[in-house]
Structures are given as C-alpha cells and as structure tokens.
Structure 1
C-alpha cells in the first residue's frame, strides 16, 4: 500500500537524520572535530527540509489523492523504484557532506529525479480525474514540481561550490514547496476556515483564505532572498501572525474547546506558524526559522501523518496516549530550539533540544514502522 511504502521510507530517513545531527552536536560539545565538505548548517537544512518530507508527502498523496480525485489508486509496486531511489539519495547525501560535496550533490540529484518521477505519477492521476474541486491537488502538484526543480538547483549549487546559492534555494524550497503542500492539504482536509470568517468574500471567492496563506508563504521565500524594507516586513508578517492566531482561536471555538487531541495538535501547528511570522516581524530571523521548521513543519507532519497512518492501520483513535506524549516532547524540543536562537544558541540548550527532538521523532518513527507492518491476511 502506498502509505506503508512512503511512510516507512520517510521514517527511516528521519531516524537517520535525527541520530546524525544529534551525534554532531554531541561531538562538537565534546570538542571533537568532524570533517565537513558542506557547511553543517546548510547540510542540516537540506536534509531536514528536503529529505524525509517529500517521502511523507508521497505516502499521503498516493493514499488520499485518489480518493479526492475519485480515480483508481496506483499500486505500491508502481512507486517502489522512485521511493527507493529517493531514500537512497538521502542516505548517500549524509556521508557525502563529510566526504565530498560532489557526492552530496549526487545524492540530492538522485532524490530530486526520483521525486519528480513521483510528481509525474500524481499528474497522471490528475489527468485521469473528472472530479470537481481538484484545485488543492493541482496546487500541491505545482508546488511539488517546483520542489523537484529546486532540489536539482541545490545539487548544482553544491557541485559548483556555491553554498550561498544553495542556501537561497533551500529557503525557496521551504516556503515555496514544503509549506504550501502542508497549508493546501490542511485547507482541503479541514475546511472550517472559510465559512464565517468573511461570508460575503467567501461567497465570491471560496478559496480566498487558501490563496492568502499561499501568497504569505511565497512572500517569505522572496523575503529570504532579498531583505525588504523593514516597514513592509513588519506589516506583512505582523498581519500574517494576527490572521493565523485569529484562525486558530476560531477553530478552537468551532470545535467546542480542546477536547480532541488531534485537533489540538493541528491547532498547535497553526500557532507555531503564527509565531514564526511574529518573530520575523520582530526582526528575529533565526528564531523565526526554527519556529517555522521545528515548530510548524514538524508538528503538522506528526499530526497529519499520524492521522493517516492510524486510520489506514484500522485504529479509531489517532492521537492515543503514546502519540500525545511524543507530541508533548516535540513541543518542548521546538520551544527549546527557539529559545536557543533567542539566547545566542548556547551549546547545552542546543544539545538538549536535539535530544528531545530525536526522542520524539525516533519514538514516532518506531510507531509508524509498527503500524505499517502488513496485518495477517492484509
């Protein structure tokens, strides 16, 4: 089944990434030098931004996508080769960043080409579909094509020794690919935003909120390339933070309070995105970056994938006790990472944040592997 294939591969890359980064932080704290062919911060960003996220997307899209499009799903065997090559590419990338930048670039390029093959499969499902309301998957497909192109650009930049270009490409990828996929999927899965926020506007433009959120994400990518006038950034990012906080509060009210843990997990993701915009408006880019990545992206990944994986495994409760405990540990890790950015990144706080993040992700990955094992007769 596609979700078993994609989620299992993603969990493998995620577990390796967490252990690798934690080992580096511990070695640095102990005064042990590691060789780096790619700067550690850039290597970390590329792996955590482009590595396991697309694999989780693949498991999700080829499970939920055919249902949304009302077409026959693809068998998992049609996805095995691109998923396997994508996984291999990132497992090659990790030693490459310590050995030679060309090897790291080859790993990214292999993963990018494999991802583009998967996006082509998704585009095929879209062409076969006559279902109404395909706008969400069309937007996701467009962002995914861009994500593949940006990964190839990152590979070319590493091979050419242009770390500055690779960093810019990474920012464009986070805000132009990863964030739009999450925002669009959330809007499609939980259409509670447009009903009463602005009824007259929603009647004329049903997807006004989705368009607004996507535009805000793309603006952040552009802001990362060229720092705008401070007044413009304060205005845009401040307004975005207020909008997201208002949406989270309305969502909580519509749900009758925080009774369902999965709803709380998704709401926490929205609050983290609001925090990222607020910190950016205050001129704190490092803290904003980690509120976005460790807070928003990681929280939404855990919530959405847990919901799909548990449902496909026949479990009626997605956010059970263990899942909730892992979520709490993840929130503590994200808070510590943002606090470290605000405090000048002291080594002890960074290590503690990485330990908590690894505990949350490794525990979660172990649960995913257990859920993805085929049941008897399944």
Structure 2
C-alpha cells in the first residue's frame, strides 16, 4: 500500500517530493508535531506577532487620543507581555531541541510539549482579554500561563536528572533560571489576583532579569564562541565557566536593584554610584568579550554577525545604564536616559539574539543551508532599525511619539515577516526529506 507523501512518517516519498519543491506541498498542522522547534516556534511566532500588533494599535490609539479601557495599567501590561509573553515559548523550541543533545538523551516528542504550550498560548490570549475587561480575567489567564511553564520546566528538570553527560553546567543553569521563571509567573498571577501594580511590576522585573535574560546569557555563553570557532578558523571556543556565572549573577543583581527601585524610590545617591561602578566596567568587559569571540572576523558571515550584533547591544545597554544612573546621581533623579537602556537590552540583545538563534535552528533543522539568506538578512536589519529608533526615541523626548511609532512599525514588519516566512516551513516537510 502506497503511503501518503505529505505525512511526517513517509520519509522516502518525502525525499522525492523535496527534490521537486516542498513548498508546493500543502501546509498541514500535523507537521508542527514532527519536531519540538516546529510546534514551539510556530506558537511563539503567533504570540510575537499578536503582541506586536496589539502594542502598535495601542500606540496608534494613544497618538490619536482614543480612549481605551484598561483593567491593568497600560505600561505594566506592556512590560509584562513583551517580557514573558513570547520569549518562553521560543525557549521551549530551543531547549527541547538542543537540550537532548547537550544531555546525551533521545529526541523529545513534540506531542509531549503540546499540553504545556497550549496552556501558555491560550493563557496569554485570556490575559490580553483581561487587560481590557477585568483584572480577574487576566489573573485566570496568567494562572494558565504559569501552569504551562511549570510543567515544561519540570519536564526539562526530569531530562537533566536522567542525563549522565559529564558537562551539564549549561543545562543546570537553564534549569535554575527556568525555576526563577516559574516563581515570576506565579508571582504575576498573585499580583493580578490582589490587584497590586507594585507587585506586578516587581514580578515582571524578576522575570526579565532573573529568568529571560539569564537564559539568553547561558545560551550566548555556550553557542556564540562555538559558532564563531566553527566558522572562523583561527578562533577558539573560549568560554570559561567564571564568565558564565558572572553574566548570570550580573542579571540577578539587576533584578534585585530593579525591585529596589520600585519599592524604595527614590533610592540613595550612594546606591546610584554603586550601580555605575558595577555597570560601566561590565559594559567594557562585554565589549571586550564580543571582540574576543570574533565580532570583527564574523562580519563576513551573516548568521554569525547576527548573533554578534545582538550581543553588542548587551554591552551598549549596560553602558547606557551606567550613563543614566550617573545622570540620576548628579541631578538627584531629575535627568536620565529614560527607557533607552532597557530597550537596548530587550529589543536589541534579546530580540536580535532570538532572531538569529531561531533563524539558525529553523534553517538547520529544516534541511536547509545554515546561513542567513537575503530575506533573513533584510528582516534582521529592519529589526535593528526598530531597536535604534526606540532607543533614540527614549533619549529624545521631543521626537518620542513619531520615532516610537516608526519603531513599532519596523518591529512588527520584521517579526511578522519572520513568522510568515518560517511559519510556512514549519507546516511542511524538511527540504532534504529527512524526518524532524
């Protein structure tokens, strides 16, 4: 009996189809279950585009003086959604694809991730509705999100415990950061239950600096020097463990200091100068690290350059943090760089690194060349333009509104372009005809 050539199981027929044109085959949801990255990245891209469109609409409505009902303060809602809305969904795709290789374990069946991912995506839809209806609705949705991530984090912890690989440092660090994410998400649900904006903002800061950013630092520490050394002959994969824990601890320190800003504002001038004393040397260390990992040499290789471009924003963000805190110390809090340092880190480092990592994984695990072709390269630079516009908008208040609108437009164009392009791949067989 001849097998159906457009099901994941029919690898021989798929190989023949791949030689013709897999993009001519119909897009089928069943293919999302062929590999963890397909399912998780597809759901994450839906969340990413929905978040971008939602925030673009909010900014446009604000510029037109349109009144909208908010059950949750708008800035707190924006911070929560953009911090923990789509990033953890992307984490699932990466960690349950690369994680088994790190740990020497068999590949993960994507179906086993479906319940947790569905809870998270569905929960965020409810949260969005709750933002504009009632805080109790947002709380219910947030509880679904927290439950979904808790189950997935426990699943990764179980993988770590089953592993006998000698080197499990990065996996352990990711598991620890994921645990902080569990705390942050449940803390968010509690803050909505008691209708506390202060607790909600605190939970968001814990989620950003204690969960999201450390996972990126851990992956950057493991993957950027490895990719650079594999692409540039005379580079080595230099990644001492002290550097990993320094990066993670700096983010955790930022979590504590950000929470202190919320609870004890205005903080003392002495604390501001202590922040500068930590952030400025760290910014120089990150810049040196980018050069040590081959920033200049990698510029000829687009995909590696994309990773380095994201990492460069991390150094820039800490430099901007240092300048902003110095201004606050000198002017008793009257002057600062506003949200420029934060957006340099979130949109620049997190956004660009996510873009590069997911592009690389989607290409390699899609049976395609592991490279940034012209469409991917163009989308990446549109995203970079969005980051630059948003940072300048924060520093230049007089032009904030038009620059911010341009920024969200560019961000939405880049993210929607990525989602459409790679989403088409996720619902079709691999180009090389192999399973997965």
TM-score by length of 1: 0.94
Matched, 1:31 2:65: yes
Matched, 1:348 2:382: no
Q: Which residue of 1 aligns with 2:310?
A: 269
Matched, 1:295 2:370: no
Q: CA deviation at 1:248?
A: 1.2
Matched, 1:101 2:135: yes
Q: CA deviation at 1:74?
A: 2.1
Post-superposition CA distance 1:144-185 (Å, at most 9, x none): 111011111011112211101111111111111001101101
Q: CA deviation at 1:27?
A: 1.2
Answer 1 or 2: higher relative contact order, Cα 8 Å, separation at least 6: 2
Post-superposition CA distance 1:42-71 (Å, at most 9, x none): 111111111111110001111110111111
Q: Distance in 1 between matches of 2:321 and 2:426?
A: 38
Q: Which residue of 2 aligns with 1:321?
A: 374
Post-superposition CA distance 1:123-143 (Å, at most 9, x none): 111111101110101110110
Q: 225, 228, 231: which one pairs with 2:273?
A: 231
Q: Distance in 1 between matches of 2:116 and 2:127?
A: 16
* Secondary structure of 1:226's aligned partner: helix
Q: CA deviation at 1:286?
A: 1.4
Q: Which residue of 2 aligns with 1:366?
A: 420
Q: 38, 45, 49: which one pairs with 2:79?
A: 45
Q: CA deviation at 1:374?
A: 3.0
Q: Distance in 1 between matches of 2:350 and 2:297?
A: 25
Tell which deviates more after alignment, 230-239 or 219-228.
219-228
Q: Which residue of 2 aligns with 1:146?
A: 180
Gaps of 5+ in 1: 196-201
Q: CA deviation at 1:261?
A: 0.7
Q: Which residue of 1 aligns with 2:12?
A: none
Q: 113, 135, 160: which one pairs with 2:147?
A: 113
Q: Which residue of 2 aligns with 1:222?
A: 256
Q: How does 1:52-201 map to 2 (within 5 A)?
A: 52-191=86-225
**Structure (1 or 2) with the larger CA radius of gyration:** 2
Q: CA deviation at 1:240?
A: 1.1
Give the CA RMSD over aligned residues: 2.0
Q: 360, 380, 383: which one pairs with 1:330?
A: 383
Post-superposition CA distance 1:297-350 (Å, at most 9, x none): 101110111111111101113311111101100011001101111112622111
Number of residue-to-residue matches in the alignment? 370
Q: Distance in 1 between matches of 2:207 and 2:257?
A: 13
* Secondary structure of 1:282's aligned partner: helix
Gaps of 5+ in 2: 1-34, 230-236, 262-269, 325-336
Matched, 1:250 2:304: no
Q: Distance in 2 between matches of 1:305 and 1:342?
A: 30
* Secondary structure of 1:38's aligned partner: coil
Q: Distance in 2 between matches of 1:256 and 1:156?
A: 48
Q: CA deviation at 1:192?
A: 5.7
Q: Distance in 2 between matches of 1:37 and 1:7?
A: 30
Q: Which residue of 1 aligns with 2:48?
A: 14
Q: CA deviation at 1:37?
A: 0.6
Q: CA deviation at 1:285?
A: 4.7
Q: Are residues 192 and 81 of structure 1, via their aligned partners in 2, closer, same or farther at CA, if it must alter by over 3 Å?
A: closer
Q: Distance in 1 between matches of 2:297 and 2:344?
A: 27
Q: Distance in 2 between matches of 1:357 and 1:257?
A: 25
TM-score by length of 2: 0.81
Q: Distance in 1 between matches of 2:292 and 2:80?
A: 35
